[in-house]
Structure 1
Amino acid sequence: METCRAHCLILPFPIQGHINPMLQFSKRLQHEGTKITLATTKSLFKTVNEVSGSISVKAISDGYDEGANGIAPEIYLLKFQKVGSETLTELILKLQDLGRPVDCIIYDAFLPWCLDVAKDLGVRAGVFFTQSCAVNNIYYHVRKGLLKLPLEATEVDIPGLPPLLASDLPSFVSNPGPYPATSQLVVHDQMEKIEEADWIFFNTFYKLEEKVNDWMATTLPVKTIGPTIPSMYLDKRLVDDKQYGLNLFKPMTNACVSWLSERSISSVVYVAFGSLAELDVVQMEELSWGLRTSNYHFLWVVRESESKKLPKDFVKETFDKGLIISWCPQPEVLAHKSIGCFITHCGWNSTLEALSLGVPMIAMPQWTDQSTNAKFVKDIWKMGIKAQPDENGIVRRDAIGQCLITVMEGEIGQEIRKNAKKWKDLARQALEEGGSSDENTKDFVSKLIQS
């Protein structure tokens, strides 16, 4: 029985974009001397072979052990809360009986009921936010009634943040109607009891969001612990840590890396919209033509569920200049010398990866936090531009082509690349040279082990 190390149980929300950063944080905690148990749902557990080294993986139930496809979000979340609370409690008590008591639960902010489980069992708890400080500060102000919905003004002023237009806000704030259950979760439920958590972890680093972090730290126990991307791309402290270690989609690693290696330096446009965003048929056609008529090679990730939206014969007709794949190891692609820019939906994981690896961005935000991230990419961090949609919300082929020329060539592109290098260096420094991110991680582990 181990008695010299604290034991953290990590519970992410069971989707790729939430699992990856929490798994990466788990690896760093383990490296600092903490025993880790990663808990996931039974349906996801069936797909997991090995996660990383000695990280133990255990299953709890969300009430849908054969999968929850087609289940309405509001029904799924209620069932997960009821069944998840019961089975998480059972798991923690079982680990205690086995001589491996849990000292701390680090839970995804999308699972706020975990805090009640921790309190009932007398276990300390840290809440992990997979989105930026800025976005969660907006949600916090809505939850506290400091930002009233529906919005009445076209511009809002929130402490710690630059002036924001309504269109810069997360979609669950600017237009909560289409997704009421998800809006309730991210704007209200995940913020409800965060003051009661022992720690609040943000997947960001201090220099990146200094002002908003300072404001939130005046009232909340916040810690910036990012960027949580594989160590070999930043500080190289974790040997052989090149992949996150768990993929819900099968990456076509050899195909895309071999293809990229045949291209010249900074010549390829990488295009990806994450694991959830869905483009409509018109937008897919416009993007296809924008890429096809450009002067650049492109690598485009099109999930299998989205591939039917591609124009007929597009893959065959662009074979000489483009590669379309269903999934890829994104950090490895972004770190490749042939990548010149990244057309992205600006999901937080993708934004943080591009920023940490110094890749200029063309933002095409779709929903949730992406408009806010795009605002910061363009106007605050100045390492990309935003592709402007027309009155129907479609970014047309000509706009895409002009964005590519702007970023890949000319004075604006040079300035963006200079800023991209600056943020890449600061991201590495945050972990490598005693920056606040790694210091926060070490401080947390030290206090946990000593107590």
Structure 2
Amino acid sequence: MEDQRGEETHILTIPFPAQGHINPMLQLSKRLASKGLKVTLVTAESNPISIQGENLTSSIKIESIPDGFSVDAGVNVRNFDEYIERFKVVFPQNLAKLIKKHEVSGYPVKFIVYDSVIPWMLDVVRGFGLDGAPFFTQAWAVNAIYYHFHQGTLKVPSEGGSLVSLPSMPPLGINDLPSFICDKTGAYPSLLNVILNWMATRFPIKTIGPVIPSIYLDKRLPNDNDYGLSLFKPKSETCKTWLDSKEINSVIYVSFGSLSALGEEQMEELAYGLKRSNNFFLWVVRESETEKLPKNFYEETSKKGLVVSWSPQLEVLAHKSVGCFMTHCGWNSTLEALSLGVPMVAMPQWTDQTTNAKYVEDVWQVGVRVRVNEKGIVTREEIEICIKEVMEGERSKNIRRNSEKWKESAKEAVNDGGSSDENLEEFVTQLLSS
């Protein structure tokens, strides 16, 4: 009877249209489907996603609807506010059409899981007579900081040396706080207001992560060895062939995600920092960023480095030759590194990444964090020092030992009887009984 009711319980999952938000929502969708629910993931048409693998489409359905932007425009840091305003108008209109379509399909939508960074989606779906639950795609420590900021119990330090003390958290400096709070340029005001207003409602929380493909954790979902959706085409065979030719723990993997964009000076410092380290490196440089690379860099580093426009990140991190992940500390990338036991060099750029980097170095002790100079630039010398510290320095053994511990903890969380799986089961039971 429960299986039958599960088949009749159709839910929509709605991620924010960026790769770092689509991936975890997609994995949650797969896990919900494995519990007997019918799941449809709704994407934005401006994201030209590619589907990889038949297993994905057999477990969940994927539907794209217009979001007010063209494929060529897409969403990026520079047009973020404009995108949000148009998305809030156009996307709900087309979501209503999708829900009405399913009303006559025999599988009407019963519930919606939406990305926490679009909290106004709850008001939208309640207007359709439905209910929903937010899915957080960032660390809860970051959410707690937002809450205290909204409540007025967090005062942002006016000087770099001042520290903030919050319950159950390490002392935080101004550079450890999310950039939405401490950025004085006002570069990202709209999303901060959205998050703060939503946080004030204080919904009950269930922890269900880490949500990465099952093959790397509990192996309970058949053939779940990749996310299955990508906004970029990964150079899978190129990366694998190159990594296969390298020794164990000899490669630095470098990636700053799908949105972060380094300035030309910082790109040059990073390039020559990698060169100075004298390690092998695999560096993901999106096509839109390649013009920032120093002249003749490819030729100068051809014996040590491989630069690709996109990579199959999980496969890369799981490869035996990768000994270090130089990352922007997006929450997806951070969770993947923790789950696969890969030490990190943290080089955060914006939003929650600064807080994640604080935890990488000082709380979990699975890596080191670069320091910026008076111009806000991470120098090539600093990059070289940090890489060597993780790969061969005094803290290297302790960092690798801690990385392995977190890898085991991630597996325990999602296995039968783990807190993550139990919470997911409870969530599904509540859906089935409603």
TM-score by length of 1: 0.89
CA contact (8 A) 1:7 1:35 kept: yes
The code of the aligned residue for 1:125 comes to G
The code of the aligned residue for 1:52 comes to T
Find the counterpart in structure 1 of residue 66 from structure 2: 61
CA contact (8 A) 1:292 1:318 kept: yes
The code of the aligned residue for 2:106 comes to G
Q: Does residue 177 of structure 2 align to residue 174 of structure 1?
A: no
CA contact (8 A) 1:41 1:65 kept: no
What is the RMSD of the two structures over their aligned residues, measured on CA atoms? 2.1
Secondary structure of the residue aligned to 2:43 is: strand
Q: Does residue 255 of structure 2 align to residue 272 of structure 1?
A: yes
Give runs of aligned pairs for residues 92-241 of structure 1, distance below 5 A.
92-148=99-155, 154-179=162-187, 182-185=188-191, 187-193=192-198, 220-241=203-224
The code of the aligned residue for 2:195 comes to Q
Task: Give identity over the alignment, percent.
Answer: 52
Find the counterpart in structure 1 of residue 85 from structure 2: 78
Cα distance in 2, alignment partners of residues 30 and 330 from structure 1: 24
Cα distance in 1, alignment partners of residues 391 and 194 from structure 2: 42
Q: Does residue 267 of structure 2 align to residue 284 of structure 1?
A: yes
More divergent stretch after superposition (148-157 vs 232-241): 148-157
Q: Does residue 42 of structure 2 align to residue 39 of structure 1?
A: yes
Secondary structure of the residue aligned to 1:192 is: helix
Cα distance in 2, alignment partners of residues 151 and 86 from structure 1: 43
Give runs of aligned pairs for residues 377-416 of structure 1, distance below 5 A.
377-416=360-399
**Which of the residues 68, 87, 96 maps onto 1:89?**
96
User: Relative to 1, partners in 2 of residues 1:102 and 1:191: Cα closer, same or farther, differing over 3 Å?
Assistant: farther
Cα distance in 2, alignment partners of residues 38 and 8 from structure 1: 9
Secondary structure of the residue aligned to 2:394 is: helix
Secondary structure of the residue aligned to 2:127 is: helix
Q: Deviations over 1:38-82 (max 9, x none)?
A: 111223367558753231122332222555448843332222112
CA contact (8 A) 1:45 1:59 kept: no
Find the counterpart in structure 2 of residue 207 from structure 1: none
Secondary structure of the residue aligned to 1:126 is: strand
Q: Does residue 296 of structure 2 align to residue 293 of structure 1?
A: no
TM-score by length of 2: 0.92
Secondary structure of the residue aligned to 1:37 is: strand
User: Relative to 1, partners in 2 of residues 1:151 and 1:160: Cα closer, same or farther, differing over 3 Å?
Assistant: farther
CA contact (8 A) 2:157 2:163 kept: no
CA contact (8 A) 1:61 1:83 kept: yes
Cα distance in 1, alignment partners of residues 84 and 136 from structure 2: 18
Find the counterpart in structure 2 of residue 334 from structure 1: 317
CA contact (8 A) 2:252 2:282 kept: yes
Find the counterpart in structure 2 of residue 203 from structure 1: none
- Which 5+ residue runs of structure 1 have no aligned equivalent? 197-218
Q: Does residue 233 of structure 2 align to residue 250 of structure 1?
A: yes
More divergent stretch after superposition (339-348 vs 388-397): 388-397
**Which of the residues 20, 23, 35 maps onto 2:23?**
20
Cα distance in 1, alignment partners of residues 268 and 49 from structure 2: 37
CA contact (8 A) 1:41 1:60 kept: yes
User: Relative to 1, partners in 2 of residues 1:3 and 1:235: Cα closer, same or farther, differing over 3 Å?
Assistant: closer
Q: Tell me by how many angstroms 1:188 deviates.
A: 2.2
User: Relative to 1, partners in 2 of residues 1:294 and 1:76: Cα closer, same or farther, differing over 3 Å?
Assistant: closer
User: Relative to 1, partners in 2 of residues 1:448 and 1:255: Cα closer, same or farther, differing over 3 Å?
Assistant: same
Find the counterpart in structure 2 of residue 350 from structure 1: 333
Q: Tell me by how many angstroms 1:299 deviates.
A: 0.8
Cα distance in 2, alignment partners of residues 69 and 4 from structure 1: 35
Secondary structure of the residue aligned to 2:319 is: coil
Cα distance in 2, alignment partners of residues 343 and 400 from structure 1: 10
The code of the aligned residue for 1:140 comes to Y
Find the counterpart in structure 1 of residue 405 from structure 2: 422
Q: Tell me by how many angstroms 1:149 deviates.
A: 6.2
**Which of the residues 300, 305, 309 maps onto 2:292?**
309
User: Relative to 1, partners in 2 of residues 1:47 and 1:431: Cα closer, same or farther, differing over 3 Å?
Assistant: closer
Cα distance in 2, alignment partners of residues 52 and 336 from structure 1: 27
Find the counterpart in structure 2 of residue 30 from structure 1: 33
Q: Tell me by how many angstroms 1:429 deviates.
A: 0.6
Q: Deviations over 1:54-111 (max 9, x none)?
A: 3112233222255544884333222211222222122112211222111210011222
Cα distance in 2, alignment partners of residues 331 and 47 from structure 1: 17
Cα distance in 1, alignment partners of residues 286 and 48 from structure 2: 22
Cα distance in 2, alignment partners of residues 405 and 422 from structure 1: 22
Cα distance in 1, alignment partners of residues 413 and 203 from structure 2: 21
Q: Does residue 4 of structure 2 align to residue 8 of structure 1?
A: no
User: Relative to 1, partners in 2 of residues 1:255 and 1:67: Cα closer, same or farther, differing over 3 Å?
Assistant: closer
Q: Deviations over 1:216-265 (max 9, x none)?
A: xxx64111111111111111111111111111111000011111111111
Q: Tell me by how many angstroms 1:3 deviates.
A: 5.0
User: Relative to 1, partners in 2 of residues 1:330 and 1:42: Cα closer, same or farther, differing over 3 Å?
Assistant: same
- Which 5+ residue runs of structure 2 have no aligned equivalent? none
Q: Tell me by how many angstroms 1:191 deviates.
A: 3.8
